[in-house]
């Protein structure tokens, strides 16, 4: 597996990372712990050195910490603070004392002495980002955190945070299905020398071609409330799936590999973190690192993408999920 460096930070990670959230959170009932530990071990053996989790993902930090304990010093674990569960609901909390409590808890759950990459999970409107940056700066000085970043933050918040304590990475959704970061976010990150870590680079599985208008989702699966995944929008967006399939056939690749290769081709400091629970899918995703889209192929693909209008939003309109993005 090739390596990439996140922005100007010097943090070197595998070209493709592994998002671990879905193993126990967000996409239906949690998978068997032993099976997921084996999958994480397989990822490491296949060259993955970048693993993503968060405090709010239930038992996910414990899973990741236990699985990666044998590889201490050889992997980068990213986690997040700033969202907590209160009576079953997610609540934003980046109060300074909570940041410290979260980090202490994450260190124990991950079984590490230092968190390699710590993100603020979502901006907290009640705490100025400069104060958050200062709190993380203190943790960096204490050796409890090495690098830091923001998740789903707007460009002004990024600039303000970066001015206090330089950011290593920004994590946000980015894929052929959600290309908005190209407009404002990516140019800002390039200017400031900050890496980009896209989550859902496969459009929450849609770009693999697995779903159509007849697909249904369990109530414990986050996609059951996402507008993009209504039968009507699943049907309308098949035009994008068909385009990717066509390109994949010409490259002797799978749709997932083309979708990931497109993300990788945008900038050399982009490191996507697709998630999976299956070894076959893991191997398939990692194979995208070896696929090269020529400038001409990229140009043709981007031209075709520009003519496709995606139906359905990322989050339910007016929901807490929607309100937390781009702040």
Domains of the chain with CATH codes: 3-205+255-291 (3.20.20.100)
Give the model's pLDDT for residue 174: 98
Candidates 151, 142, 53, 144; CA nearest to 107 is 144
Written as six digits, the tokens of 139 are 């943790």
Would you report the helix, strand and coil content of the chain in percent, each value rounded to 5? 45, 15, 40
Q: Is the pLDDT of residue 96 over 80?
A: yes
* Contact present, 151 and 172 (Cβ < 8 Å): yes
**The pLDDT of residue 277 is above 90:** yes
Among 288, 268, 267, residue whose Cα is nearest residue 276:
288
Contacts of 180 (CB under 8 A, 6+ apart): none
pLDDT over 90, % of the chain: 89
| CA angle (107, 66, 47) in 5-degree steps | 100
* Angle (nearest 5°) at CA 230 between 229 and 233: 80
| pLDDT the model gives residue 28 | 80
Whether residue 258 has pLDDT greater than 80: yes
- Give the catalytic positions in this structure: 57
What percentage of the chain has pLDDT greater than the value 70? 100
- pLDDT tier at 17, thresholds 50, 70, 90: very high
318 pLDDT band, cuts 50/70/90, is confident
Q: What confidence score (pLDDT) does residue 115 get?
A: 98
- Residue 238 pLDDT > 90: yes
| pLDDT for res 280 | 97
- How far apart (Å, rounded) are the C-alpha atoms in residues 51 and 272? 11
Q: What is the pLDDT of residue 257?
A: 98
pLDDT value at residue 104? 97
pLDDT at site 6: 98
Task: Indicate the average pLDDT of the chain.
Answer: 95
Q: pLDDT at residue 327 above 80? A: no
Q: Average pLDDT of 246-265?
A: 97
DSSP E strand stretches across 110-263:
115-120, 145-151, 169-173, 195-199
The closest of 132, 84, 36, 89 to 320, measured between CA atoms, is 89
More confident residue, 317 or 139: 139
pLDDT band at 89, cuts 50/70/90?
Answer: confident
Q: What do you get for the CA distance between the two ends of the chain, in Å?
A: 34
pLDDT at 272 over 90: yes
pLDDT of residue 235: 95
pLDDT of 116 reads: 98
How does residue 38 score in pLDDT terms, banded at 50, 70 and 90? very high
């Amino acid at each position: 597996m090739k390596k990439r460096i996140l922005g100007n930070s010097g943090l070197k990670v595998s070209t493709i990372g592994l998002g671990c959230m879905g193993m126990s959170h967000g996409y239906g009932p949690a998978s068997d712990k032993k099976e997921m530990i084996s999958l994480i071990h397989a990822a490491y053996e296949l060259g993955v050195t970048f693993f993503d989790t968060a405090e709010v993902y239930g038992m996910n930090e414990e899973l990741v910490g236990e699985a990666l304990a044998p590889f201490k010093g050889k992997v980068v674990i990213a986690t997040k603070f700033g969202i907590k569960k209160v009576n079953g609901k997610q609540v934003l909390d980046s109060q300074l004392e909570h940041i410290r409590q979260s980090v202490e808890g994450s260190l124990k759950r991950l079984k590490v002495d230092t968190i390699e990459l710590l993100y603020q999970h979502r901006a907290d409107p009640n705490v100025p980002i400069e104060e958050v940056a200062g709190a993380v700066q203190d943790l960096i000085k204490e050796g409890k955190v090495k690098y830091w970043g923001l998740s789903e933050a707007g460009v002004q918040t990024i600039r303000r945070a970066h001015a206090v304590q330089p950011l290593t990475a920004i994590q946000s959704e980015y894929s052929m299905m959600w290309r908005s970061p190209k407009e404002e976010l990516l140019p800002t990150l390039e200017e400031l020398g900050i890496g980009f870590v896209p989550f859902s680079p496969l459009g929450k599985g849609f770009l693999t071609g697995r779903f159509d208008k007849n697909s249904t989702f369990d109530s414990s699966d986050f996609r059951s409330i996402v507008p993009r995944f209504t039968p009507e929008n699943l049907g309308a967006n098949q035009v994008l799936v068909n385009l990717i399939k066509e390109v994949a056939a010409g490259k002797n690749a799978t749709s997932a590999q083309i979708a990931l290769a497109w993300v990788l081709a945008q900038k050399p400091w982009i490191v996507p973190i697709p998630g999976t629970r299956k070894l076959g899918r893991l191997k398939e995703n990692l194979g995208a690192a070896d696929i090269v889209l020529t400038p001409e192929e990229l140009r043709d693909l981007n031209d075709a993408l520009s003519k496709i209008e995606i139906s359905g939003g990322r989050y339910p309109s007016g929901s807490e999920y929607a309100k937390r993005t781009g702040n």
